[in-house]
A and B are shown apart, each in its own frame.
Chain A
C-alpha cells in the first residue's frame, strides 16, 4: 500500500512538472473550465441561498391560511363566518387578518397595506417597510399622503421603519391601525380578508384542514407546507432550467477538452516515447496522464467555485440576479447568508468534472499506447 501511494505521489509530481512545462496549452483549458464551473456554481449557489431564505422566512408563517371563495375567486370573510368554525381540536389560535394592495401612482408601485395583529400602532400612524422608505424618501416622523380608491386623501405619520433584517418579506409593507385600514379602503365592518390558524402539532395540520373544508365548504385552506413545496419546486425549476440551457455549454466544453487531449504535439509524443523507452509501462503512462487531467479538473473546479462564491455572496450575483430572483418595482434589498451544501457541490462535480474526465479517457489511452519507436521517429 505504501509503495502504491509513493508511486502515485511521484506520478503526480511528474504530471505537475509536465503541466508546468506546457503552461500556455493548459492555461487556456483551465481558464475555460473554471469559467464553466463559475457559471454553473453561481446559478446553484444563488438559487440554493434563495431557497434557504424562503424556508427560514416561511418557518414563522401560520400553518394554515383560510380564504373564502366565491365563484372560485378570493372573497372577504363575512361576519359570523368564523363562529361557524366552532372549536376545532388542535388549533391554538384563530386570527382574522386584514390586508390589501394599494397602487401608489407616485412611485408606480404596489404596496401591501396590513393591520398589524401583534403590534400596537396609534391611529393616524403607519409603520413602513425599508424599500418603501427608500422609494418615497421617508423617515420616522414624516407625513405621507395616499389617495384612497374613493378619491379621498389620507395623511399618515410614519411612526417607525421595519428592520432591514426582514426586508425580503417587508419591503413594500405598510402597517396601520385597524380603524384607519377600514376607513381607507371603506372595508365593511366585521369583514376580514382571510384567517390565519396556528396549529401546535405539525402532524395535525392536514386533519385540521380537512375539518375546515367539511365545515366551510366554500373555503380554501392553504397549508404552509404547500407554500414551501411550491417555492422549493419553483427555485428547483429555475435552477434546473438554467442548467439544462447551460448543458449546451458543457457539451461544447467536453468537445473542446476531447480535442485538446487528442491533439498531442510532436513534443509530447516524443516525451511519451522516451518514457516508454526507458521502461515506463503503458499503465504508468496512463496513470500519469490521468493525473494530469484530474489535477486540471480539480484546480478548475476549485477556482471556479471560489469565484462563484465571491460573485454570489459578495457581489450579489449581479450577473444572474435578473433571471433567478424575479422582479418588482419595490424590490427588497437583501444579502443572502453564505451557505454551502454538500449535495450541491456533488451535483456540480457530476456536471463538470465527470464529463471532462470521461471525455479525456480515450485520448489519454491513445497517447499512452503509442509505440516508443514510432513516437521517437516522428
Chain B
C-alpha cells in the first residue's frame, strides 16, 4: 500500500461511518420490533429519545460520505504521478479493478443517505412518526453498502504499489508494464449534446411540473427525471463539456476539471449536479408515502419545495454548461 495521509484519512472516514451504523444496528432492530407510538412505556420513551441520536449520526455519515467522495477523487488524481502511464484520476482508478467500483459505491451511498435524511425530515414533522419503521429498515439496508465500501476501498488502496526506482533495477518499462487506458470511450459531440440537453430538459420539466402542480405521478416523474438528468449530465461532461473546458479536442477526463488550472470549474458543475440529483431522487421516494394521513400536507409541501430546488439547480447547471460551451475557444462545429 502507498502510505499516504489522504488514504489514511479516507480509510478512517470509512471505518468511522461503518462503526456508527453498526452501533445503530441493534437499535434499528429494536425500533422495528417494538415501536408503538401510542404506548407510554419506558421502552417507547427510550426509543423516541434514541431516534435523535441516530438521525444525527446518519446526518454525520451522509456529510462524511460527501466529503470522502471528493477526497477520494482528489487522492486518485494526486496518486497519478506514482503510476507509469497514469495522467490523472482516471489512470490511478484504473490501476486495479477496485478503483472505479469504489467511486460508484461512494456516490450511491451519498444519494441513499441523502434520501434517508429527507425521509427523516418529513417523518420528524409528523406528530405520530409514521415512517419510523421504514427509516430504520432503510438504515439496516444501508449497512451492507457501507461495509462493501470499506472493503472495496481497502482492496483498492492495499493493492496499490507505486512504480518507484528500486536499487536492483532502474527501468520499470523493461518489465513491460501495460499501458493504462486513460481515455473513456465517448459519444460524438452532436448526439451527446442532444442527450445532454434533452435529459436536463426532462429533469427540469418534470421537477417544475411537480413544483407547480404537485401530484404523485409528477413526483415519480421527477425522480426518473433527476436520474436521467444525472446520467445525461455525466455523458455530456465526458463527451463534450470536458473538451470545451480543456479547449482540447481529445481530452475527455471528468476529473481534471476539478484542478486549479481550469478555475475549479468542476466544483461549480458537480456540486449543483449532485445536490439537484439527490433532491430530485428524494421527491419520488417521498411521494410513496403521500397517502399517510399525518403526512399528506407535510409531504405535499416538502416534495414541492424539493422539486423547485431540483428544477432551479438543474437549470443553473444547464446555463453554466451552455456558457462554458459558448465562451470556449474550442469549436467542435464550424
Residues in chain A within 8 A of chain B (CB atoms): 44, 67, 72, 206, 209-210, 213, 220-223, 225-230, 232-233, 236-237, 239-241, 243-244, 247, 282-283, 286, 290, 342-344, 346-347, 350-351, 354-355, 357-358, 361-362, 365, 368-369
Contact = CB atoms under 8 A, between A and B. Distances in A.
A240 B3 contact: yes
Contacts of B137: none
Contacts of B57: 361
Interface string B100-138: 000000000000000000000000100000000000000
B178 to A, nearest CB: 12
Contact of B8 (A240, A342, A344): A240
A315 B116 CA distance: 49
Contacts of A240: 3-5, 7-8
B3 A236 contact: yes
Q: Which 3 A-B pairs have the closest CB atoms?
A: A240-B3, A350-B9, A365-B53
B315 interface: no
23 contacts: A44-B5, A72-B168, A210-B174, A220-B171, A227-B165, A230-B165, A233-B82, A236-B2, A239-B4, A243-B8, A244-B8, A247-B8, A283-B52, A342-B74, A343-B71, A346-B74, A350-B12, A350-B67, A350-B68, A351-B9, A361-B57, A368-B52, A369-B52
**Interface SS of chain B:** helix
A346 B81 contact: no
B74 A343 contact: yes
Nearest to B57: A361
B13 interface: yes
B4 A236 contact: yes
Given A222-B165, A343-B74, 10 more contacts: A44-B5, A206-B173, A220-B171, A229-B162, A239-B4, A239-B5, A240-B5, A286-B56, A290-B56, A350-B10
Contact of B71 (A222, A241, A243, A347): A347
A229 B168 CA distance: 17
A343 B6 contact: yes
Interface residues on B, range: 35 or more
A177 B294 CA distance: 92
A207 B36 CA distance: 72
B217 interface: no
B70 interface: yes
A82 to B, nearest CB: 19
A357 B60 contact: yes
Given A209-B171, A210-B174, A236-B4, A347 B56 contact: no
Contact of A226 (B3, B70, B172): B172
Contacts of A365: 52-53, 56
Contacts of A236: 2-5
Contacts of A221: 170-171
Nearest to B6: A347
A226 B60 contact: no
A210 B81 contact: no
B163 A229 contact: yes
A232 B13 contact: no
A233 B2 contact: yes
A354 B64 contact: yes
A286 B52 contact: yes
A343 B89 CA distance: 14
A191 to B, nearest CB: 21
B170 A220 contact: yes
A232 B56 contact: no
B67 A226 contact: no
A362 B75 CA distance: 31
Contacts of A228: 81
Nearest to A231: B164
B16 interface: yes
Contacts of A209: 171, 173
B251 to A, nearest CB: 14
B174 A243 contact: no
A369 B8 contact: no
Contacts of A368: 52
Q: Which of B71, B82, B170 neighbours the largest number of chain A CB atoms within 10 Å of its CB?
A: B170
B78 interface: yes
B20 interface: yes
Contacts of A225: 84
B327 interface: no
A221 B171 CA distance: 6
Contacts of B33: none
Contact of B20 (A210, A220, A227, A358): A358
A343 B173 contact: no
Interface in B292-317: none
Given A229-B82, A240-B3, A240-B4, A347 B170 contact: no
Contacts of B168: 72
**Best-surrounded residue of A223, A233, A241, A365 (most CB of chain B within 10 A):** A233
A368 to B, nearest CB: 7
Contact of B13 (A67, A286, A354): A354
Given A221-B171, A227-B165, A343 B2 contact: no
Contact of A222 (B56, B75, B84, B170): B170
A365 B16 CA distance: 18
A226 B56 contact: no
B265 to A, nearest CB: 15
Contacts of B68: 350
Given A236-B5, A350-B67, A361-B56, A230 B16 contact: no
A230 B166 CA distance: 9
Nearest to A285: B52
B117 to A, nearest CB: 14
Nearest to B71: A346
Contact of A282 (B52, B75, B81): B52
